[in-house]
Structure 1
Amino acid sequence: MTLTGLSGQLVRSMASQSLPKTMKGVIIEKTGGVEVLQYKADLAVPEPKDGQVLVKNDYVGINYIDTYFRSGLYPAPSYPYMLGREAEGTIVATGPDTPHGLKTGDRVVYLSEATYAEYTAAPAAKAIKIPSSIEPTVASAALLQGLTALTLIREAYNVQKGDWILVHAAAGGVGLWLCQLLAAVGAKTIATASTQEKLDLAKKAGAQVLINYSHEDVKAKVDEVTNKQGVAAVFDGVGKSTFDLSLDCLARKGTMASFGNASGAVPPFAISRLGAKNAKVLRPTLFNYIATRDEFEQYTNELFDFIVKDKMDVRIHKVYDLKDVATAHNTGTSRHLGVGSTDKKQDIEGRKTTGKLLLKP
């Protein structure tokens, strides 16, 4: 063994000796409403494998995809299953041959499964150091939703200056990111939301045209502002309840990116409907846009640049203790989701949030 290899092994050994054996975390053993979320205080601390880093989490992001796995809309690979897709924290140990210059003590944000916990063994390929110019809480609140919005405007539809773009649920986490990024690249945004308060947030984020879908005719307003030409693209994270409307609002050769299921999954539809406008419909997922390390670094660094140079407002709706995860999932829940939960409705699923929800382990 080389001196370097021996040194690395010694550091990992010393780190593992100083780490606790158990940790707090949240798992599910079946799908359903918030009642299936189990807060545990005796879960084993994972050991980082080859190409992984062990991160002590400071803040964990909550995202709609977490509710999809909890409810069963997306199948978990096995049970018990730990929720979570992103977090921010400090590397406390590294696996063998850790790439990308990451080391113990680095503050990082990362994308990984199993983040609803005090510690996560995360893939080094999806972890990146936080620039000194960005606060860790901002980085943790920005990563997944910011990257989702950024890849939507770059790849789902390559937005150009002057394009009319329709954004549904514009005051949600991804929606506010879309409004800000679209303004930064010179597009003209039509924002929909359910209340004036949310529309005010969308306007502050850069939206030019505001539509309260609870009492306004969205299609009529889109026709009015686009001279009946329609929009170049629709970014639709709502799903079932807005799908037909989104198609109706498209311009000829327009693109509809259906990237979420807040109102339920979109049912099957006749592909021949697209021929009326030569429209394009796609179901983009963030992880297929950042599958390689180069792609992850490219978009994450671009996101950091937008945060610093364009002074993006990274809005944090609320921070919950990890043990209060059920409240976080259920604070405002799902009059729209339509799956899994029949209990009192409260936060992430019901589109009553205006920004990011975080957990504090």
Structure 2
Amino acid sequence: MKGIRVHQHGGPEVLSYEEVSINQPGRGEVLVRNRAIGLNFVDTYFRTGAYTPPALPFLPGNEGAGEVMAVGAGVEDFAPGDRVAYVMTLGAYAEESIVPARFLVHLPDGIDFETGAAMMLKGLTAQSLLRRAFRVEAGHTVLIHAAAGGVGLILTQWAKHLGATVIGTVGSPEKAALARKNGCDYVINYHLEDFAARVREITDGRGCDVVYDGIGKATFEGSLDSLRPLGYFVSFGSASGAIEAFDIMLLMKKGSLFATWQLLFTHLEKRENMLAMSEELFAVVSSGAVKIPIHTRLPLSEAAEAHRRLEARETTGATILLP
């Protein structure tokens, strides 16, 4: 079969489209024929070595959707022909993938493969942020960085559905229009405005209840300055680089703030969490409250180009790779 293999860490050019072999599924594993594969910023971390893969070479990719081809020993919940989606499993950038059954779920009939592939990692990340890291309720004011990105658009729609006032940051007029279309009450172009000062203006000096920050280094201090006393800084990515070490007393000085860095895998370690979180995600998508915008479709062979666009911040919404 064809797949993308990384033989050494580096830029997008290290993504090699080549013939790869695959084994039959072992105990607790399922062989999936991928119909669509999701692209995520975390894929670039594994490619560059910022996150360490189990070994080199490796197949990147952390989400996909398709059909079950075979199941290993001990797998009782899945059978050949089942429509499925999965997350948190390296190896999605291929025509077929071996997936641990605990990270696999049945895909509802009303959700197609492309949507399934585009929503698992980003959608479950949004669920963990909005419902677990800080539970957003009606009346809250939330700040979402990169509001026109893949996770950002899901966060924006879902937070609005929950009754929150949503403030989003973006980097262009086109992204601002997209963020507004998807539920942002206020949009800040961070190239033109000091976003923390603008948040204070919007909230009459009170600040937000929570900031969802997948940008990292460039937005860290401004995010803290955007919060009300006892507010929550929820970090989940480092698109601009890792947050530098800081004195924890800074949180006291900024208003006795809470700060956390959330890893989706921690939430999904228990199978019951995987099922419950996926069920809630599928429910808001099936109801139409949250739409999964797929703005770019590329063949799997063009994964390097997909990474280049993602890192250049040329993308909005979700990008999927088609094997």
Instruction: State the TM bucket, normalised to the shorter chain.
Output: over 0.9
Q: Is the 8 A contact 1:61 1:358 kept in 2?
A: yes
> Per-residue displacement from partner, 1:265-288 (whole Å, max 9, x unpaired)?
111111110012111111101111
Q: Is residue 130 from structure 1 mapped to residue 92 from structure 2 by the alignment?
A: no
Paired position in structure 2 for 1:303: 281
Q: Is the 8 A contact 1:46 1:119 kept in 2?
A: no
Paired position in structure 2 for 1:144: 121
- Give the AA of the match of 1:29: H
Shift of 1:196: 1.5
Paired position in structure 2 for 1:28: 6
Q: Is the 8 A contact 1:170 1:202 kept in 2?
A: yes
- Larger-Rg structure: 1
- Give the AA of the match of 1:284: Q
Shift of 1:221: 1.3
- Give the AA of the match of 1:45: I
Q: Is the 8 A contact 1:149 1:174 kept in 2?
A: yes
SS at match of 1:182: helix
Structure 2: distance between partners of 1:233 and 1:272 = 19
Paired position in structure 1 for 2:75: 98
Shift of 1:312: 2.1
Paired position in structure 2 for 1:212: 189
SS at match of 1:82: coil
Q: Report the number of matched residues.
A: 321
Q: How does 1:1-361 map to 2 (within 5 A)?
A: 23-41=1-19, 43-99=20-76, 101-111=77-87, 112-276=89-253, 277-330=255-308, 347-361=309-323
- Give the AA of the match of 2:93: Y
> Per-residue displacement from partner, 1:107-146 (whole Å, max 9, x unpaired)?
1001221111111110111111111122221111111101
- Give the AA of the match of 1:355: G
- Give the AA of the match of 2:118: A
Structure 1: distance between partners of 2:18 and 2:212 = 37
Unaligned runs of 5+ in 1: 1-22, 331-346
State percent identity of aligned pairs: 40
Paired position in structure 2 for 1:333: none
Q: Is the 8 A contact 1:87 1:110 kept in 2?
A: yes
Q: Please identify runs of 4+ aligned residues in structure 1 that moved more than 6 A.
A: none
Structure 2: distance between partners of 1:243 and 1:314 = 27
> Per-residue displacement from partner, 1:224-244 (whole Å, max 9, x unpaired)?
111111111100001111011
* CA-atom RMSD in angstroms: 1.0
> Per-residue displacement from partner, 1:291-345 (whole Å, max 9, x unpaired)?
1111011010100100111342211121111111111111xxxxxxxxxxxxxxx
Report the TM-score, using the length of structure 1 for normalisation. 0.87
> Per-residue displacement from partner, 1:55-107 (whole Å, max 9, x unpaired)?
011111111111001112112221111101111111011101113x2100001
Structure 1: distance between partners of 2:92 and 2:57 = 14
> Per-residue displacement from partner, 1:169-214 (whole Å, max 9, x unpaired)?
1000000001000001001111110111111111111110111111
Shift of 1:36: 1.3
Unaligned runs of 5+ in 2: none
Structure 1: distance between partners of 2:112 and 2:15 = 30
Paired position in structure 2 for 1:5: none
Structure 1: distance between partners of 2:203 and 2:80 = 53
> Per-residue displacement from partner, 1:2-25 (whole Å, max 9, x unpaired)?
xxxxxxxxxxxxxxxxxxxxx111
Q: Is the 8 A contact 2:293 2:318 kept in 1?
A: yes
SS at match of 2:231: strand
Q: Is the 8 A contact 1:184 1:310 kept in 2?
A: no
Structure 2: distance between partners of 1:247 and 1:88 = 37
Structure 2: distance between partners of 1:310 and 1:251 = 32
